Amino acid sequence: MKYLLYIGSFFFLQIISSQEGKSPFFYSEDGEIKDIDTNSLYKFHEYRIDNEYLWLGNNGQAMYSLIFNPNKETQYRASQLLGGVKAFSYKKYDVVVPFTSVKFVQGARQEQYFKLVHTQNFAKNGNFSFGYDKINSDGSYLRQKTNNNKLNASVWYKTPNNKYEISFFANRIKNTVNQNGGIENDSAFIINTEFSRNRKTITINLDSASDQKIANQFALYQTVSLFDNTDSLGFGLVQKIELKSKFTNSKRYYIDENPNVDFYENIFLDSTITNDSIKLNEIEQEITYHFQLTNNRFSLSLSPRTNYYFTDYTQAYDNLWLNELSVGTEMSFENSKFSLISDIDYFLLGYRQNNYQLKNKLNLDFTKNIGWYFSANLKKYSPSLDLVKYYGNHSIWENNFIPTQSISISTGTENNKWDILASFTYTDIKNPIYFNYLREATQSLDYTQVIQSSLEKVFRLKKWRITPKAVYQYTGGVLAYRLPTYFTSLKLGYGFNVFKNSLALFTGVKLTYYDQVQLMSYSPSLGQFYLGNNNNKQVGNYPFLDFFINARIKEVRLFFALTHLNEGITTENNYFGAISHPLEDRAYKVGISWIFKK
């Protein structure tokens, strides 16, 4: 009910207009310019993760991707166990009129999703915005409730002479998730063919465990123009200095007031209560000099930078203060036929001394209608602090890990008029680190490889829109990842207008299918998926069918969806996100979104 009050208040603050398609609404996210989606129906119902992920069965719980992403698997992290809670984005809006978007979704099993975005320019060269995302869902089983909250705000201003620009960002994440350790007996779910059975009657492993992650971040970006003689076409020379300052405070608490001795393999500290925590404070300061020369034949840019990074890490009895200093530069050259971008970072001092990252990308425009890219990324990175040493009630380790090295080479299509997305990627990781069947961080002094190819095509046939997607993945060497060899999906939709074109509809189905893959296990106390030793636990060779119907009336959009529509058709249930963690059964979702412009 409170969400409806929020929506109502913004209804009176904003006046609905019919400027769709007339007023531009843009934002830049981490430097990339994007449009604000105000009327699309194609993906409107896709408000959460889909079947490209295996997850613990309730919206807002832990998940991992079935499609390998080398950029996410090989990244610098001070704390692996804090995970993606610190994955903030920096959005700068620039709108011609005040803009407010409100989205609310109600689903089965008390699932609620709420998203609010408001932005407006307070001057010709200034804007402020704020947003709020919330997931609140009970789930199908006992102790599966999620309550995830994300707040963000930003403000930026540029002086009338364009000599100085300042941007401020504030972000907060607070995710509280109950942990049930999975169901006690998988067969109680697998052989259950009665869809009406109350899943909350199935016995679970943990009855008083919870995982809470909190992160707060403040960032200040400043840009000072040193020289600018560009003309009305943008030709000329630009020189400027950019300073970025960030402060991040992150915490993770895992509490179990009644540890189940039959579930946890180890209880090292206290058999009556588990109270593990990680606390992390980070300060980052970066200064960059930008040089860009543009004429009617090419554009050349050079951006050398220096980055200082301070870490205050606390876990159990350890408190570490670490300093790191890195230097880097981004170089780019672009003309009408191709563009080349090269970016390098090298750590001179500190915990990550001698670590490096090199990213190169070449874009070729063969014709006016098709482009191709080639990229090569090299990286050497030291392990996260809690992978080296951890001291908790259920896991303890102290490792002498060496840096991991990776190379990823990729090629594929860029934007083209045929709507074809094709790619081929080879990733080789030396000395991979992963969690083994003992729930311990371990390193293999060997190699793991992932060879991946994907093809996706959008067919537009009058009112029909058909999107098939196929991914092939080969994993070799050390099996640090569990990925299906084949992953396919097919989205079929039909769009039309009714009631004298005042109502737009888009309805369709999506089918997802992948071959058998061995399941990962999940450790609630670590908040990590690990390679369990249950070799007979596999999922796959099972279709997931979703149905949706999306509608738009002026600035109001609505949808109704049935996910996992085919649940219960087979005689046995065998759809899991991790060992002892079933995926979601058939469920309905009803959503509505308002766009308010003044």
In three-state form (DSSP H/G/I as H, E/B as E, the rest C), the secondary structure along 360-423 is EEEEEECCCCCEEEEEEEEEEECCCHHHHEEECCCCEEECCCCCEEEEEEEEEECCCCCCEEEE
For the chain, first and last CA: distance in Å? 26
- For the chain, domain boundaries: 2-597
Q: Which residue has the tokens 């599966």?
A: 144
Dist CA 517 CA 327 (whole Å): 42
Q: Cα–chain-centroid distance for residue 322?
A: 27
**Cβ contacts of 368 within 8 Å, gap of 6 or more:** none
Asked whether the beta carbons of 515 and 543 are under 8 A apart, the reply is no
Asked if residue 177 lies in contact with residue 61, where contact means CB atoms within 8 angstroms, the answer is yes
Q: Which of 71, 70, 74, 68 is nearest to 485 (CA)?
A: 68
Burial classification of residue 264, based on how many CB atoms lie within 10 Å of its CB (0-12 exposed, 13-18 middle, 19 or more buried): buried
Q: Could you report the per-residue pLDDT of 121-136, keeping only the tens digit for each? A: 999 899 999 999 999 9
pTM of the model: 0.90
The reported pLDDT for the residue numbered 62 is 93
Q: Cα separation of 484 and 518, whole Å? A: 8
- Do 222 and 166 touch, CB atoms closer than 8 A? yes
- CA dist 404 and 383 (Å) reads 7
Distant-in-sequence, close-in-space partners of 5: CB < 8 Å, separation ≥ 6:
none
Q: How far is CA 112 from the centre of its chain?
A: 20
Amino acid letter, residue 440 = E
For residue range 345-395, list pLDDT tens digits in order.
Answer: 999 999 999 999 999 999 998 777 788 999 999 999 999 999 999 999 999
State the Cα–Cα distance between residues 93 and 453, nearest whole angstrom.
Answer: 35
Q: Is 575 exposed, middle or buried (0-12, 13-18, 19+ CB in 10 A)?
A: buried
Please give the structure tokens belonging to residue 372: 């191709």
Give the whole-angstrom CA distance, residue 294 versus residue 273: 64
Q: Of 493, 500, 505, which Cα lies nearest the Cα of 461? A: 493
Residue 159 CA to residue 125 CA, distance in Å, equals: 7
pLDDT score of 496: 93
The Cα–Cα gap between 527 and 508 comes to 36
**Hey, what amino acid is at 348?**
L
Which residue has tokens 């092939």? 472
**Residue for token digits 């909190």?**
214
- Residue 432 CA, distance from chain mean position: 22
Helix-strand-coil percent breakdown of the chain, rounded to 5? 5, 60, 35
- Provide DSSP, 235-295: -EEEEEEEEEEEEEEEEEEEEESS--TTT-S---S-SS-EEEEEEEEEEEEEEEEEEEEE-
Non-local (6+) Cβ contacts of 357 within 8 A are 343, 344, 345, 377, 378, 379, 380, 381
> What is the reported pLDDT for 597?
78
Q: Is 340 helix (H, G, I), strand (E, B) or coil?
A: strand
Contact 584, 590 (CB under 8 A): no
Rounded-to-10 torsion of CA 182, 184, 185, 188: -80
- In this prediction, the residues of the chain whose per-residue pLDDT falls under 50 are 1-23
CATH superfamily of 2-597: TonB-dependent receptor, beta-barrel domain (2.40.170.20)
What pLDDT was estimated at residue 77? 76
pLDDT of 500: 80
Query: At 226, is the secondary structure helix, strand, or coil?
Result: strand
How far CA 279 is from CA of 180, 215, 275, 345, 528, in Å, comes to 24, 10, 13, 27, 17
Q: How far is CA 371 from CA 322, 336, 368, 453, 554, in A?
A: 44, 12, 8, 18, 36
Under a CB-based contact definition with an 8 Å cutoff, are residues 140 and 585 in contact? yes
Rounded-to-integer distance, Cα 442 and Cα 380, Å: 18
Q: What is the DSSP string of 482-495?
A: ---SEEEEEEEEEE
Nearest by Cα to 520 from 58, 52, 56, 50: 56
| HSE toward the beta carbon, residue 539, CA cutoff 13 A | 27
Cα–Cα–Cα angle for 284, 290, 295, nearest 5°?
155
